[in-house]
Amino acid sequence: MDSAHLPPTLRFDMVPSMDQTNVPLTSCPQCAAEMPETAAFCPGCGRSMLTEERALGTVGILPENVAGALSYLTFLPAILFLTLEPYRKNRFVRFHSVQCLLLWGTTILFAIALKLASVVLFIVPVLGPLLVLLVSTVIVLAAIVIWLVLVVKAFQGVMFKLPKLGDFAARQAAQP
């Protein structure tokens, strides 16, 4: 290329400038990075910008977080909390009780599906029973970890939602 044919302007002048938009900015409460108000996550630290609802008060004779954690022990406290008067009006306790019942239902459906699959897989001589044992162990360990996370999050006062089940539980808890 011959530079004699180019105009005497500087090369960066050839790039069009971007228009500055007037987007309202907010700052992250954790790291103070600036971002648009509509941002869901901080670009600096990666934390969620959505505020979590926390249990702060008491319901009946129990604090909200204790009642939410107790609802995960078995399905019986969850049913009791959904039927007894001071607890069924509390959105936090109702959410955790409904999510607990949905988790129990899902676990029972997985157990039935595993039982049906094991009947078919036991036909395969060695690999079938081994595969059933491996899959059932993974499912049981996953259920225990999920249960522990839910109990801890409820005890911390957080409305922790499981995918699909948590959204349904939140809709049910929002209804009076």
Domain boundaries, the chain: 22-51, 58-174
Exposed / middle / buried, residue 93 (Cβ in 10 Å: 0-12, 13-18, 19+): buried
Distance CA 92, CA 18 (A): 47
- Tokens at residue 18, please? 């971007």
Per residue in 121-152, pLDDT (tens digit) is: 888 888 888 988 998 999 899 999 999 999 99
| pLDDT the model gives residue 52 | 56
**pLDDT band, very low/low/confident/very high, at 16 (cuts 50, 70, 90):** low
Classify 25 as helix, strand or coil.
strand
Classify 40 as helix, strand or coil.
coil
Distance CA 168, CA 162 (A): 9
Mean pLDDT for all residues in the chain: 83
**pLDDT band, very low/low/confident/very high, at 58 (cuts 50, 70, 90):** confident
Which range has the top average pLDDT, 9-18, 22-31, 42-51, 71-80?
A: 71-80
